[in-house]
Structure 1
Amino acid sequence: MYSRILRAIYKIENNHVFSAVKKGFTLLIPVLLVGSFALLFLNFPIPVFQKFIAEWAGGVLSTSLHFLFDSTVGFMSIYLVVSISYYYSSEMKERDGFLQVMAMVVSVVCFAASFGAAGGSMELSDLGPVGVFTAMFSSVAATKLFYFFYGKISAAHRFRSRGADVDYRNSLSAIYPLLLCALIFIGMNLTIQTVFKVDNLNDLVTDGIVFLFHNINDGLGAGILYVVVLDILWVFGIHGGNALEQVAQTYLVPNDNAAGVIISKSFLDSYALIGGCGAAICLLAALLIFSKGKDNRQLAYSASGAVLFNINEILVYGLPVVLNPVLIIPFILTPVISLLIAYGFATMGFLPILGRTVTWTTPVLFSGYLSSGSWRGVAVQLVILAAGTGVYAPFVCLAQKVKEQQAKMLLNELTAYFKLVQQEGRDVHLMEQHDSKGLLARNMAEQLRIDVEQERLTMGYQPQYHKEHGLTGAESLLRWRYMDYPVYPPLVVALAKEDGFFDRLTQVVVKTSMKACSELLREGSALTISANISADQMDSEQFINRVIRMAETYGVSGHYCLEVTEESAVDRMEEIPHHISRLKSAGILAAVDDFSMGRTSLMYLQTSSFYAVKLDGRLVQGLLENERNQEIIASIVSLGTNLGFVVMAEYVETEEIREKLESLGCNLYQGYLYSPAVPLERLKEIVKGSQPKK
C-alpha cells in the first residue's frame, strides 16, 4: 500500500505539467531570494531603521531597495511564464531550439493577452505575484497550443523567402501559430469580460473567492475560511495575500484596533500565519529538524531570515510547496490548528486581546509580545510552533522518502537509457537532456565532483585467483552511491567525462587503491592491486609522473598494476610504449584490459613491457556456447606464452567456465565464482582465510 502511494505521488510529481511548473518555480529561487530580502529591509519593523533607509543619501537606499524588489518579485509572473514554458517545451517531441525559444515568446504574448493588455486593463502589478496563476496557465496552455499549430501547419503553408537565412525563414514560419495562439487567448479574455463582467481571468478567480465571504458573519468562521482559502491559493501558486486583500480590508482590518475582538488581521498574522502563509515557520523548523536532504536543509537555512519576518516566498516557491502533493495537507491544516489554539487560549482568558495593530513583518515571538502586551503571547506562539512542527514532521519525512524513491526510479531510467545508448553505439550526452533524466544527470555530476574533490569515493576490491597459488591480487572497482543508491560504474565514468573531471576521478581512484595496497602490505598481504585507466591517460606524461610519485609515496612498488583499455585506436598515441617502460622501471605493472583480437588490442602488444592481458568479458561469457571464442582464447594464451605475458579471465562465474579456461591454458581468474567486489576490510578477511594454517 505504502509503495503504491509513493508511486502515485511519483507519477503526479513527474507529470509533464506539474514537473514543468515546479522546475519553473525552482529556477526563480535566486530572483525570489533577492526580492524577498529587499522587501524585508523595506518593511523591517523598527522605526529607526525605516527612518535611516528613507533619509540616507537623500533616500537612495530606499529607492534602490524598491527598484530591486520591483525588478525581481515585481516581474515574477513574466519570469515564471518564460521558465515554465522553457521546461514544458523541452518535454515535447520536437527537440528544436528555435521552437523552444518561440514557445517562450508566444507564452509571454498570450499572458499579456489574457489580461486584456490591448484594452488597457493590464497593470504593472499584474506582472508580479498577482499574476502567478495566470502565468502558470498561460505558459502551459500557450506552449501546448503553439506546438500543436506548428505541427498542423504543413511546410507548404509556411512563409518562404529565397536567399534568406535560416533564422529569418524560421521566424516567418512561426507567424501563423503565434497569431492563432494570441487570438485564442484574446477570445478567452473577451468571453470572460462579456459573460462574467470582469476584466480578465485573474479577476474572475479573485472575485469568485471574495464571493465566498459574503455570508460569513461569525468571527471564527471568517478567520478559518480566510486562512484556508489563503493557503489553498498559495498551493496553486496564487499570491493569497494579494488575492484576499479586499476580504482582509472588509472583514479583518477594521477589527485590528477593536478591543476584545479576537479575529482580526493582526491576530491572524501573529498566531495563525506565523512565518507567513502555511505557518511557514513550522515548516522551516520541521525541515531543519527532520529533513535529511542536504538541498532541503540548505534551502531552509537560506529562507530562515525571511521566514522569521513572515516572508515565506522562498519556501513556498523554492521547495516548492506549489502543486506539491505531499505538503499540501499540512500547509493548509497547520494554520487552521494554529488559529484554533490561539483562539482557544484567547477565549479562556489566557491570551490578552488588546486591539493593537502589529506590523505583518514583526518577527515571531516579538509579534506575540506586542499583540498581547505580555509573555503569554510569546508562550502561545511557542505552543503553536511546537504543534505546527509536529504536524509538518511526518509529511517532511514522507516528502524525503518520495524524493528518494523518485531518485531511485529516475536513476533506473537513466541507467537503462545509458545502457541503450551504449548498445547502439551513440555518443553519450546525458547532461544535455532537458528532461528529468538530464536534470538527474546534472545533479549526479555535481555531487560526484564534490565527492571526487573531497576524495570520498567508495571502492570495492574483486579478488583474483591463480590455479595453483590461490589469491594473488584484486582489482579496485568504483562503487559510488548517489542518495545511498549504487550507481552503474560505467555511468559514473560517463558523467565524469562529460563534465570534464575524468582525469581527477581516475587520480583519486588510483590514490585510494594505492593506499589500500600499502595497508595490505603493512599487514603482510603481498597482493597485487590494480586500477583502470584510459589510453589517453597512459599517453599523458603528466598523468604518468603523478602515478609514479604516488607509488613512491605509498611504497607499492612491485605490487601495483594499471589496467589500460580504450575503444578508440591507440596507434596515434606514440608515448604509450615509453610510458609503460617508465612504469615498469618504477615497479608499476601494466595490463591490457578487455583484450580481444581487434586492432586496438593487438597494437598494445608492440611493447614487451606488459605484465598481463585480461580477456574481453564477452569472450569468457560466451565460452561454453561458442567454439570460436575457445579458439580465440587459446590463441591469446599462446601469444602470451610466446611474448611473455600472463592471461587473466574475468566473468568467471561457474565451475564449467573455469574448467574450460584451465583446459585452454588460462590459469588466472576473476569473477563471481570466487567473489564479487568487496570492501577493503572484507578483502583482508578473505586474505586471512586463504592463508595456509600453521
Structure 2
Amino acid sequence: MKGLLQWFEEYFVPFAAKVGSQKHLVAIRDGFIAIMPLIIAGSFAVLINVFPVDAWTKFLDTTVGGYIRSTNGNIWTGSFMIMSYLVAFTIPYSFAKNKGSNELATGLLGLATFIILMPGMEEGWGLPNAWAGTNSLFVSIFNGLFVAELFTRLFGNDKLVIKLPDGVPPAVAKSFAALLPSLITIVAVSVIKVIWVEAFEISNIMEFVMNTIQKPLIGMANTLPAAITVAFFNHFLWFFGLHGSNILEPLMQSLYLPALEANAAGTGQFIVTKPFFDAFVYMGGSGTTIALLAAIFVASKRRKDLRDIAKLGIAPGIFNINEPVIFGLPIVLSPVFFIPFIIAPVVLTIIAFTATAIGFVPLTTVMVPWTTPPVLGGYLATGGSFTGGALALFNLAVAFIIYLPFVLIAEKLDGVEV
C-alpha cells in the first residue's frame, strides 16, 4: 500500500495538478462560476412557478399570482435562456484575465463572434433566442476558447499595436492597441462560418455540434458508470490533497448543466445533473464527511484529537464546507479513512441513481447553492419533493454506517496517525 501511494504521489498527483491548472479548463471553470448566481436565481424562479402544491398552483392562476409567474419567467429569460450568450463572454474574459491580457476586449470578442455563428443572422435583425440557451453551449465554449487563444496571442504582438501620442488617454490607447488583433480575430471567425455554410453546406452550426457532439456526450455522462466514475475521481483526487471538485468542474458544468436545464424545461429525463451530486452525494462536502463527523461523535471515546476536529468541522460541515476535516483530521493520505472516503460517495451515487431511475424521487430540476444544508438540498433540488429530502437523509444514514467501523479502527490506533 505504501509503495502504491508513493507511485501515485510521484506520477499521478503531478499529472492531475497539471490538468487542474490547465489554462483552458480553468477558463471554462471560472466562466461558469461567474454566471452561477444567475443560474441559481433562474432555478429558484422555475421552482416557484412549478412548486408542486395545488393551493400554490391555483394561486398562480389568479391575477396577483400571474404577476409572480411572469416575474419568474423574466428571471428565467435572463439566466437559463441566454446561458450560451453569458458564457460566450465570461469564458474568454476569464481566459484573458488569467493570462494578464485585455480581458474586456477578449470577452466582447467572444460574445460578438458567437453571435456571428448564430444561424439566421444574415436574414435580418434580432438575436435568435432558439439557440441562446444550453443547446448551443458547446459552440459557445469552443468558440470562446478559440477567440481567447487567438486574440491574446495577437494582442501580445508589438507589430500589431497602433501607437498613439503620449497625450492620448490610457483607455483610448488601450482600445487602439486591441484594434488590429480584434479585427483579425473577428475576420477569422467570419471566414470559418462562411466555410461551414458554403463548403460543407452546414447552415446551422449550433444544431450540427449539438447533434454530433453535445447530445452524445451528455447521454454518455448520464449513465450509472459515468456517475460512479465522477464520484470516484473527485474523491480520489481529494485524497492526495487536490481539489477534485474544482478539477472536474469544467466537465460538471459543460455536461450536466444542459441536462439540468432540460429537466427544468420538461424536455429531458436526465438522472445525473450537478445538483444530483450536491444534493445526494456531496453532503457536508466531498466524501459526505458530515456522516463521518456524526460517527466520530457517536463512537470516538478516547481520541480527543478526532473529537476536537469534529467539533471544529460540524458548523461549516452543515453548509458543505469540509476543508477543516479533509486537511485537519486528516483524510488526505490517511490509510484508515481513504477507504470509506472513496466507497461512501460511490455507494450513495448508486443508491441515488437507482432511486431516481425507479421513480422513487423526481428528477433534479433546481440548481441549489452548494452551501445548502443536507436534506434541505435534496428537497429543493427535486422541485420541493419530500422524497428528495428522504433520499438525502437515507444516504446520510448509509454513509454513517460506512464510516462507523473505520472510526472504531481509528480508536484502536490511539496515538498513531490515521
TM-score by length of 1: 0.37
Counterpart residue type for residue 141 of structure 2: M
Q: What is the distance in 2 between the residues matched to 1:334 and 1:185? A: 45
1:101 aligned to 94, 101, 104, which one? 104
Counterpart residue type for residue 172 of structure 1: F
Counterpart in the other structure of 1:442: none
CA 188–298 in structure 1, closer or farther in 2 if over 3 Å, else same: farther
Counterpart in the other structure of 1:203: 207
2:280 aligned to 273, 279, 282, which one? 282
Q: What is the distance in 2 between the residues matched to 1:196 and 1:336? A: 44
Structure 1, unpaired ranges of 5+ = 214-222, 254-264, 302-326, 394-694
Counterpart in the other structure of 2:252: 235
Q: Does 1:46 align with 2:46?
A: no
Structure 2, unpaired ranges of 5+ = 1-6, 231-249, 291-312, 323-340, 367-376, 404-418
2:154 aligned to 141, 149, 156, which one? 149
Shift of 1:190: 3.6
CA 330–186 in structure 1, closer or farther in 2 if over 3 Å, else same: farther
Counterpart in the other structure of 1:88: 95
Counterpart in the other structure of 1:180: 184
Q: What is the distance in 2 between the residues matched to 1:130 and 1:388? A: 37
CA 284–378 in structure 1, closer or farther in 2 if over 3 Å, else same: closer
Q: Give the aligned length.
A: 315
Counterpart in the other structure of 2:34: 27
SS class of match (1:62): helix
Counterpart in the other structure of 1:443: none
Counterpart in the other structure of 1:110: 113
Q: Deviations over 1:315-346 (max 9, x none)?
A: xxxxxxxxxxxx9x999997666555777xx7
TM-score by length of 2: 0.57
SS class of match (1:285): coil
Counterpart in the other structure of 1:128: 133
Q: What is the distance in 2 between the residues matched to 1:385 and 1:52? A: 35
Q: Which has the higher strand share?
A: 1
Shift of 1:242: 7.5
| Contact in 1 for aligned 2:80/2:134 (Cα 8 Å) | yes
Shift of 1:160: 5.4
Q: What is the distance in 2 between the residues matched to 1:359 and 1:62? A: 22
SS class of match (2:204): coil
| Contact in 2 for aligned 1:230/1:240 (Cα 8 Å) | no
Shift of 1:146: 0.9
Q: What is the distance in 2 between the residues matched to 1:293 and 1:183? A: 55
CA-atom RMSD in angstroms? 5.2
- Counting only pairs closer than 5 Å after superposition, residues 583-594 of structure 1 correspond to structure 2 as none
Q: Does 1:55 align with 2:42?
A: no
Rg larger in structure: 1
Q: What is the distance in 2 between the residues matched to 1:37 and 1:361? A: 10
Counterpart residue type for residue 150 of structure 1: F
Q: What is the distance in 2 between the residues matched to 1:293 and 1:112? A: 48
Q: What is the distance in 1 between the residues matched to 2:207 and 2:225? A: 16
Q: Deviations over 1:613-652 (max 9, x none)?
A: xxxxxxxxxxxxxxxxxxxxxxxxxxxxxxxxxxxxxxxx
Q: What is the distance in 1 between the residues matched to 2:94 and 2:207? A: 27
Q: What is the distance in 2 between the residues matched to 1:150 and 1:33? A: 35
SS class of match (2:200): helix
- Counting only pairs closer than 5 Å after superposition, residues 385-464 of structure 1 correspond to structure 2 as 385=395
| Contact in 1 for aligned 2:34/2:90 (Cα 8 Å) | yes
Q: What is the distance in 2 between the residues matched to 1:78 and 1:34? A: 17
Greater RCO (Cα-Cα under 8 Å, separation 6 or more): 2
- Counting only pairs closer than 5 Å after superposition, residues 569-608 of structure 1 correspond to structure 2 as none
Counterpart residue type for residue 9 of structure 2: S
Shift of 1:290: 0.8
CA 331–65 in structure 1, closer or farther in 2 if over 3 Å, else same: farther
Counterpart in the other structure of 1:3: 9
| Contact in 2 for aligned 1:53/1:62 (Cα 8 Å) | yes
- Identical aligned residues as a percent: 13
Shift of 1:367: 12
Counterpart residue type for residue 104 of structure 2: V
Q: What is the distance in 1 between the residues matched to 2:140 and 2:398? A: 31
Shift of 1:26: 2.5
Shift of 1:207: 0.9
Shift of 1:123: 2.5
CA 20–176 in structure 1, closer or farther in 2 if over 3 Å, else same: same
